[in-house]
Amino acid sequence: MTKKLTLKELVQHRDLIFQLARALDRRRVELFFADKIDREEFKELGLEQRKLLAIVDDYILGILKEIETDIEQPGEQINSATTSVENAINQLEEVNKMLGIVGEVVNLFTGIIGAVSNLNPLATISNILDRIRRLTRV
């Protein structure tokens, strides 16, 4: 079972391996100058040190990926929230439009009722026609 390391654990592992690589380098130089190892052994230990540094590079890449993920997640949440807000605004605009239509219909019926009871039907008919035009624009 493989456990995904946290950012803190990645940094700790990277630091430990890097310290090991540095200690190996110091020790191989000491041994070489003390004539306790020859050039070939010095070279082999250098290759081993490079392997450790390659592992350090892998940890650095893992750390960068974790940081990138930590940065992307809030951005995705903001985008999701923005989309939800935009959808809610669109729904409110549709409701507002419907309320406007209902209001114009009420005004139309009020005008018709007023025309029946009004002494000046020409002015009222003009008013009703104006309301019908507004209703068809909504």
pLDDT confidence of residue 41? 94
- Mean pLDDT of each 10-residue bin along the chain, 138 residues long: 79 93 93 92 93 92 85 75 81 80 73 64 67 68
Taking the CA atoms of 86, 91, 96 and 101 in sequence, report the sign of the dihedral they define.
Answer: positive
Tokens 């050039």 -> residue: 39
| Cβ contacts of 63 within 8 Å, gap of 6 or more | 7, 10, 11, 14
Question: pTM value?
Answer: 0.53
Task: Kindly report the number of other CB atoms within 10 A of residue 21's CB atom.
Answer: 19
- Sequence length of the chain is 138
Calpha distance 84→41 (Å, rounded):
65
**Domain locations along the chain:** 7-137
Task: Please give the Cα distance from 42 to 48 (Å, whole number).
Answer: 10
Element (H, E) at 103: helix 39-117
Q: What is the pLDDT of residue 27?
A: 94
Q: What is the pLDDT of residue 1?
A: 47
- Residue 68, classified by CB atoms within 10 Å of its CB into exposed (0-12), middle (13-18) or buried (19+), is exposed
Spatial distance between the Cα atoms of 76 and 56, rounded to a whole number of angstroms: 30
